[in-house]
Structure 1
Amino acid sequence: MNKFPIVEMLAFYCRFERLRKPAWRPEFVRQMKRVRSCHSKVDGGVKKSYYSVETQAGEIVNLVYNEEELTWLLESPDAFPGHEIDRVLALIKRHKHLPSRAHRIVPYRFEIIPKSLVNRKVWDTEPPLVNRVQPYRFQTGRIPSTQAVDIATRHLENVMITKHLHYVVETDRGRFYHLVFILDESDWRLMQEVDEQFFFVK
Structure 2
Amino acid sequence: MNKFPLIDMLAIFTRYGGVRYPDWRLSYRRDVAQVRSCHSKVQGGVMKSFYTVETKTGDILDLMFNEEELLWSLVPAPGYEGKAIDRVLVYVQRHKHLPSRAHRMVPYRFELLPEEVAKKQYDGTERPLIQRMQPYRFQSGKINSAQVMDIPTRHMENVMVTKELNYVVKTDENRFFHLVYILDQLDWRLMQEVDEEFFFV
For Structure 1 versus Structure 2, the TM-score category normalised by the shorter chain is over 0.9
Amino acid at match of 1:41: K
Distance in 1 separating the partners of 2:46 and 2:155: 23
Q: Which residue of 1 aligns with 2:101?
A: 101
Distance in 2 separating the partners of 1:87 and 1:78: 22
TM-score of the superposed pair, with normalisation by structure 2:
0.95
Distance in 1 separating the partners of 2:78 and 2:128: 28
- C-alpha offsets along residues 5-27 of structure 1, whole Å, 9 cap, x if unaligned? 01100001111122222121000
Q: Which residue of 2 aligns with 1:149?
A: 149
Amino acid at match of 1:87: R
Distance in 2 separating the partners of 1:122 and 1:78: 25
Q: Which residue of 2 aligns with 1:166?
A: 166
TM-score of the superposed pair, with normalisation by structure 1:
0.94
Distance in 2 separating the partners of 1:98 and 1:17: 32
Q: Which has the higher mean CA deviation after the structures are superposed, 13-22 or 186-195?
A: 13-22
The answer to whether the aligner puts 1:25 opposite 2:25 as a matched pair is yes
The DSSP-based 3-state class of the residue aligned with 1:198 is: coil
Identity, in percent, stands at 59
Amino acid at match of 1:2: N
Amino acid at match of 2:12: F
Distance in 1 separating the partners of 2:30 and 2:160: 38
Kindly indicate whether the alpha-carbon contact (under 8 Å) linking 1:16 and 1:86 is maintained by their aligned counterparts in 2: yes
Q: Which residue of 2 aligns with 1:72?
A: 72
Amino acid at match of 1:71: L
Distance in 2 separating the partners of 1:11 and 1:79: 29
Offset of residue 79 of structure 1: 3.8
Q: Which residue of 2 aligns with 1:57?
A: 57
Amino acid at match of 2:114: P
Q: Which residue of 2 aligns with 1:11?
A: 11
Q: Which residue of 2 aligns with 1:48?
A: 48
Offset of residue 143 of structure 1: 0.5
Offset of residue 198 of structure 1: 2.5
The DSSP-based 3-state class of the residue aligned with 2:54 is: strand
Change (3 A) 1:110 1:168: same
Q: Which residue of 2 aligns with 1:181?
A: 181
Offset of residue 77 of structure 1: 4.4
The size of the alignment, in residue pairs, is: 199
Change (3 A) 1:123 1:83: farther
Change (3 A) 1:141 1:129: same
Q: 1 or 2, which has the higher helix percentage?
A: 1
Q: Which residue of 1 aligns with 2:35?
A: 35
Offset of residue 119 of structure 1: 3.6
Distance in 1 separating the partners of 2:180 and 2:21: 18
The DSSP-based 3-state class of the residue aligned with 2:197 is: helix
Amino acid at match of 1:182: I
- C-alpha offsets along residues 75-118 of structure 1, whole Å, 9 cap, x if unaligned? 22444111111000000001000000111110000111111113
For structure 1, the 5+ residue unaligned runs are none
Offset of residue 123 of structure 1: 5.6
Distance in 1 separating the partners of 2:180 and 2:53: 28
Offset of residue 197 of structure 1: 1.9
Distance in 2 separating the partners of 1:179 and 1:77: 37
Kindly indicate whether the alpha-carbon contact (under 8 Å) linking 2:7 and 2:94 is maintained by their aligned counterparts in 1: yes
